Amino acid sequence: MPRIPRYLLIWLSCTAASVTAVLGTVQFVVGSTRHTPPVARSAPAVVETPPAWTAVPAPSPSPQSPSATASGSPGATERPSPPASTPTSAKAPTATPRTTAPKPPVDCTGGGYGLHTVPSEGGKVTVRYGNRGVCLISAVPGRGYKAATSQTADDTLTVTFTGADHRSVITATITPSAKASVRETSF
């Protein structure tokens, strides 16, 4: 075989081998670093305990026992009577504390569409869509933003991230179907 075709054949085979090696390496690197969407994990079980502010008020002091009144010394639960010279009003206001039953938590445990994370410029919100409501799992504001949440109904949750010159409002609902909308406002 003449010299020039032999060098040309060697050069072509070396070039083909190097191009194949480079393409295989690039394909391996791109395939192994492909972006995968985040996987939602189930939230840990939460034990429902009533908040401190909903605690039942302490019972009013019981009447004194007969032995404490017989000794004549005031007991720990006895209040001194007001002096006779103090004028009393005809109708004393009664201060009965208003207690309302705490609102039951939103039921997000059964069925539904599961956990979803919704990103925005102001932060990220993770919600759980259930059959009967939307539950907030986490609201993580970005740097310079503050988070505020509101849930007027079990089926709609609104999270607002407010910054110095921007506001992100994320609304998650299950009515008519599970969805989340993001509204970005710059001012």
Tens-binned pLDDT, residue by residue, of the chain (187 aa): 788 999 999 999 999 999 999 999 998 888 777 666 666 555 555 445 444 444 445 455 555 544 444 444 444 444 445 455 544 444 544 555 555 555 566 666 666 677 888 899 999 999 888 877 888 888 999 999 999 999 888 888 999 999 989 999 999 888 888 888 899 988 8
DSSP E strands in the chain: the ranges are: 114-119, 123-129, 134-141, 146-153, 156-162, 166-173, 179-186
Spans of all domains in the chain = 114-186
The DSSP 8-state label assigned to residue 85 in this structure reads T
**CB contact at 8 A, 139 and 151:** no
Structure tokens at 41: 């994990």
The identity of residue 78, as a single letter, is E
Give residues with Cβ within 8 angstroms of 186, minimum separation 6. Answer: 165, 166, 167
Report how far residue 180's alpha carbon sits from residue 76's, in angstroms, rounded to the nearest whole number.
59
Task: Say what the pTM is.
Answer: 0.45
What integer pLDDT is reported at residue 141 of this predicted model?
Answer: 92
Report how far residue 136's alpha carbon sits from residue 116's, in angstroms, rounded to the nearest whole number.
10
Report how far residue 143's alpha carbon sits from residue 163's, in angstroms, rounded to the nearest whole number.
9
Question: Which helix (H) or strand (E) covers residue 159, if one does?
Answer: strand 156-162
What integer pLDDT is reported at residue 24 of this predicted model?
Answer: 92
Minimal CA–CA distance to 134: which of 111, 110, 154?
A: 154
